[in-house]
A and B are shown apart, each in its own frame.
Chain A
Amino acid sequence: MKQGLLSALFIARKDLRTEFRTKEALNASVSFALVVLVLFSFAFDLGRDEFYDISGGLLWLVYVFAGALIVNRSFIREVPNDCLDVLIASPMPAWSLFLGKVIASFVLLMIVELVSLPVYGLLNNIHWVDSFWPHLGLMILATWGITITGVAFSAVTVNVRLRELMLPVLHYPMLIPLLIGAMQISTALLKGDGGDLSADLRLVVVFDAMFSALSLYLIEFILVG
């Protein structure tokens, strides 16, 4: 168990190091998020108060689109030179390889989110500073859900033809409960009206717990044919 967690950290560090060297996924994802943000301001010509009503929804749309670019790379990184074979043949269990990849994608997506949040606030005149800390908590929870399911599907689609197209087709419908919860909480936080968010929060947490358990348990079947 301890060795497995350690191996997961090695994998995560390797993924992050190669990503920071090439910045392939990161650059694409950040610039994509920024383009979407600019497009939103054209698509929704709303007053300030009206914009607040949909602010959480738009924010999570940006995040989930950016996330697709990040998780897509996760297992594809191992395809050149057949590196995946070497990782699977090593003594670490399949779940720790998977967990390492999830951690790396999680960190990358969090970076993209933290970069786009101030830009989002700036462009749309949204106050995000006051609610930053609870919002960060929500981002951590929901981003975990996005990455763990996303990386699981990345593992699934790594051998599929047209994998770049297949991944969102499988991933987005699955994310809907998580996104509904996260969007509601975000909107409430940005607007600054508390209300009872426990049901939404529970939804996000249950999603995280359930899919973390399922994917860590089932990933062995996928990786070792």
Chain B
Amino acid sequence: MSAIAADGVWKYFGDYPALRGATLEAPPGACVALLGRNGAGKTTLLRILANLSRPSKGEVTVFGESARDEKVRAKIGYLGHGIGVYDDLSAYENLILFGQLMNVPDTKAAAEAALERVGLTRVRDGFAREFSRGMRQRLAVARAFLHNPEILLLDEPFTSLDDRAIAVLHELLRDALSKGATIVMSTHQIREAMELATQVALLERGKIVHSGPRTDEMLGDPGWLYRKYEEKPK
């Protein structure tokens, strides 16, 4: 059974189909790199997987259950374009709040552990607005990993991060993978993504045109997949 699967998902914005029957399956423990140009529908697909938006047609399932189920959402960690933390709460308060909303059993311990992991323990009572850009990003990463999600959905996670945050994120992702978590991430930083990815999916104009295991060709030459699909006209 797939950890998370999109089955023939269509999404219309008005009359415009941003997704045209996208089908994607991520087996448990996989790390899927979702590639595609701007406007291909990566963000739209990830938002639908994260239940932030409803598919117009098709269905999303998480471990075989409908993703509309509220309990299922607790298994998902989502990191979007925004950092998703409150500027007027301290780092610790932010994590406590999200722990409570995510139904984490021992919120305080989880928050402490998450701060430890991203190296923010010393500034746990500092307000997010006082943090530097990199610290804010690490806090966002801590927030997304707080409830040890079984499925991680990351929308261009490496794009706006600074070096230290990238290192932290890499480590956390590897750690999560070794614990059996499933990851779907969209990305432009192909080289970084390929190191982690076990699977690669290419989204073009709202359709998954390629989906399969990552090959060594891709690792050596990040542009390989794009070129392959540009050559043949659709």
Partner-B contacts on A (CB < 8 A):
3, 6-7, 10-11, 14, 17-18, 21-22, 80-83, 85-93, 224-225
- B142 CB → nearest A CB, Å: 13
B42 sits at the interface (CB 8 A): no
**In the assembled complex, which residues on chain B have CB atoms less than 8 Å from the CB atom of A17?**
88-89, 93
Listed A/B pairs (11) with beta-carbon separation below 8 Å: A7-B100, A14-B97, A80-B87, A82-B80, A86-B78, A86-B80, A86-B143, A89-B78, A90-B98, A90-B102, A91-B70
**In the assembled complex, which residues on chain B have CB atoms less than 8 Å from the CB atom of A6?**
100
**In the assembled complex, which residues on chain B have CB atoms less than 8 Å from the CB atom of A83?**
82, 84-86
Known A89-B50, A89-B76: A18·B86 in contact at CB below 8 Å: yes
Residue of A at shortest CB range from B85? A81
Partner-A contacts on B (CB < 8 A):
47, 50-54, 70-71, 73-74, 76, 78, 80-89, 93, 97-98, 100-103, 143
* CA of A21 to CA of B100, assembled, Å: 21
Residue of B at shortest CB range from A19? B88
- A95 CB → nearest B CB, Å: 11
**In the assembled complex, which residues on chain B have CB atoms less than 8 Å from the CB atom of A87?**
101
- A97 CB → nearest B CB, Å: 9
- B110 CB → nearest A CB, Å: 14
**In the assembled complex, which residues on chain A have CB atoms less than 8 Å from the CB atom of B50?**
85, 89
Known A18-B88, A82-B84, A83-B84: A225·B78 in contact at CB below 8 Å: no
**In the assembled complex, which residues on chain B have CB atoms less than 8 Å from the CB atom of A18?**
86, 88-89
* CA of A225 to CA of B51, assembled, Å: 10
* CA of A86 to CA of B53, assembled, Å: 12
Q: Which 6 A-B pairs have the closest CB atoms?
A: A82-B82, A86-B84, A18-B88, A90-B101, A91-B73, A91-B74
**In the assembled complex, which residues on chain B have CB atoms less than 8 Å from the CB atom of A81?**
82-87
Residue of A at shortest CB range from B84? A86
- B114 CB → nearest A CB, Å: 14
- A8 CB → nearest B CB, Å: 11
* CA of A11 to CA of B54, assembled, Å: 23
B88 and A85 contacting across the interface, CB-CB below 8 Å: no
B53 and A225 contacting across the interface, CB-CB below 8 Å: yes
**In the assembled complex, which residues on chain A have CB atoms less than 8 Å from the CB atom of B143?**
86
**In the assembled complex, which residues on chain B have CB atoms less than 8 Å from the CB atom of A89?**
50-52, 73, 76, 78
In the complex, besides A10-B100, A85-B78, A91-B71, 16 extra interface pairs with C-beta distance below 8 angstroms are A7-B101, A11-B101, A17-B88, A80-B82, A83-B84, A83-B86, A85-B50, A85-B80, A86-B80, A86-B98, A89-B76, A90-B74, A91-B70, A91-B103, A92-B70, A224-B51
**In the assembled complex, which residues on chain B have CB atoms less than 8 Å from the CB atom of A88?**
51-52
Contact partner of B53 (CB less than 8 A), chosen from A10, A80, A91, A224, is A224
**In the assembled complex, which residues on chain A have CB atoms less than 8 Å from the CB atom of B85?**
81, 83
Residue of A at shortest CB range from B81? A82
**In the assembled complex, which residues on chain A have CB atoms less than 8 Å from the CB atom of B97?**
10, 14
- A81 CB → nearest B CB, Å: 5
**In the assembled complex, which residues on chain B have CB atoms less than 8 Å from the CB atom of A90?**
73-74, 98, 101-102
**In the assembled complex, which residues on chain A have CB atoms less than 8 Å from the CB atom of B84?**
81-83, 85-86
Contact partner of B101 (CB less than 8 A), chosen from A10, A82, A225, is A10
Residue of B at shortest CB range from A80? B87
**In the assembled complex, which residues on chain B have CB atoms less than 8 Å from the CB atom of A93?**
70
Known A14-B97, A89-B78: A82·B83 in contact at CB below 8 Å: yes
Residue of B at shortest CB range from A97? B101
* CA of A7 to CA of B93, assembled, Å: 15
Residue of A at shortest CB range from B70? A91
* CA of A15 to CA of B223, assembled, Å: 46
- A99 CB → nearest B CB, Å: 14
Contact partner of A22 (CB less than 8 A), chosen from B71, B74, B88, B98, is B88
**In the assembled complex, which residues on chain B have CB atoms less than 8 Å from the CB atom of A82?**
80-84
Q: Which of A17, A22, A85 has the most CB of B within 10 A?
A: A85
* CA of A91 to CA of B103, assembled, Å: 8
